[in-house]
Structure 1
């Protein structure tokens, strides 16, 4: 019950749902109250915030400091395990396997497969419980996509009970113990994930995937026009900020170097 409440309330606090709620309140005040000035102020501020968060310089300016905490893994230390954290997914057997991995999940899995190739003999570990109405777990969806990319099932381990990052850290601790491993997740999620895993006394080696904040050249209109793509980048900032607050409240948000 607490898990579902956290998901619903957290979802409403993300930029788009939150600003739409503010706009709805402003419209209600505008049409059915005498608070005209307040309504106009709320509508103006919420529209301006939505506009700014949909611009590339603003969205990626907010996202880059979170994503740049750890560099891409380039083979500095060989490991026996590559752990890929679960993300958004569905499962439709009629689709191409990779089409079932939504948003952040596919880059995590493909980076995990790359790192598996770079560490001969390593096991590829996928984590994540089933969605509420889906018989296939997040971990199993990732495993099936990895298999479709040439990873033998004998080299894959699925941990399909964890529902969030804290659960994933506990499950990995039970599965592989204290030995070092590559921890693959979205670059924006990695700082928070590292804290959870180190809080368990584990030795994760950061391996970011799914970097989104653009630093390379873009066409001028891509920077000047609002886009749902850039709003999604702002959404990641909001999601991770809320996650860090929740992590702090649970007492697992110390410095990444602390155990």
Structure 2
């Protein structure tokens, strides 16, 4: 119950639903109250924030410091495990297998396979439980997609009980102990994930995937025109900020007051 409530409340605090709520309150005040000036202020501030967060220079300037904490892994150190954290997914057997990995999940899997190939004899570990209204776990979908891309099932381990990053850290600890491993997740998520994994006594090698903040060349109009793509980048910033606040409130191990 607490987990579901956390998801609903956290989801409503992300930029798009929050700003739509602010603008909606402004509309209600303008049409159905005498607080016309307050309502107009809500609408103006909500619209302006939505505009700015949908522009590439603003969105990526907010996201870049989070993503740049860890560089893409090109190290020579050999590991026994490559751990790929779960993300968005669904399961429709009629689709191409990779279409079932949504948003951040497919880039994580791609990077995980690249690193698995760079470490002969290693195991590819997928984590993540069963989402509401689904029958297949995040981990199992990752495994099926990896198999479709040529990874033998014998080289795959699925940990399909964890529901979030904190539980994933505990499950990996129980499964592989202190063996060296690469931790693959989205670049924006990796700093928070590292805290959870280090707190349970593990020393993962950080391997970011799915970098989004763009430093390379773009067409001028792509920087100037608001886009849901850039709003999605702002969404990642807000998501990780909320996650870090929740992590701090609980303590890194999930126990209140734990340092």
The answer on whether the counterparts of 1:79 and 1:181 sit within 8 Å (CA) in structure 2 is: yes
Measure how far apart 1:83 and its partner are. Answer: 0.2
Q: How many residues align?
A: 254
Give the TM-score normalised by the residue count of structure 1.
Answer: 0.97
Residue 188 of structure 2 is matched in structure 1 by 188
Measure how far apart 1:179 and its partner are. Answer: 1.7
Measure how far apart 1:222 and its partner are. Answer: 0.2
Residue 241 of structure 1 is matched in structure 2 by 241
The CA distance in 1 between the partners of 2:154 and 2:130, in whole Å, is: 22
The answer on whether the counterparts of 1:179 and 1:203 sit within 8 Å (CA) in structure 2 is: no
The CA distance in 2 between the partners of 1:157 and 1:180, in whole Å, is: 15
Residue 37 of structure 1 is matched in structure 2 by 37
Write out per-residue CA displacement over residues 60-102 of structure 1, whole angstroms, 9 at most, x where no aligned residue: 0000000000000003311000000000000000100000000
Residue 74 of structure 2 is matched in structure 1 by 74
**Per the alignment, in what secondary structure is the counterpart of residue 241 of structure 1?**
helix
The CA distance in 1 between the partners of 2:80 and 2:195, in whole Å, is: 21
Write out per-residue CA displacement over residues 35-67 of structure 1, whole angstroms, 9 at most, x where no aligned residue: 000000010000000000000000000000000
Q: Which runs of 5+ in 2 are unaligned?
A: 254-258
Residue 256 of structure 2 is matched in structure 1 by none
The CA distance in 1 between the partners of 2:101 and 2:43, in whole Å, is: 36
The answer on whether the counterparts of 1:183 and 1:206 sit within 8 Å (CA) in structure 2 is: yes
Residue 6 of structure 2 is matched in structure 1 by 6
The CA distance in 2 between the partners of 1:134 and 1:97, in whole Å, is: 16
4+ residue runs of structure 1 moved beyond 6 angstroms?
A: none
Q: How does 1:81-230 map to 2 (within 5 A)?
A: 81-230=81-230
The CA distance in 2 between the partners of 1:142 and 1:59, in whole Å, is: 29
The CA distance in 1 between the partners of 2:180 and 2:17, in whole Å, is: 39
The CA distance in 2 between the partners of 1:34 and 1:122, in whole Å, is: 67
The CA distance in 1 between the partners of 2:141 and 2:92, in whole Å, is: 10
Measure how far apart 1:251 and its partner are. Answer: 0.8
Q: Which runs of 5+ in 1 are unaligned?
A: 254-258
Write out per-residue CA displacement over residues 132-191 of structure 1, whole angstroms, 9 at most, x where no aligned residue: 111110000000111011000000000000000000000000000012210000000000
**Per the alignment, in what secondary structure is the counterpart of residue 76 of structure 2?**
coil
Calculate the aligned-residue CA RMSD, in Å.
Answer: 0.9
The CA distance in 1 between the partners of 2:115 and 2:40, in whole Å, is: 53
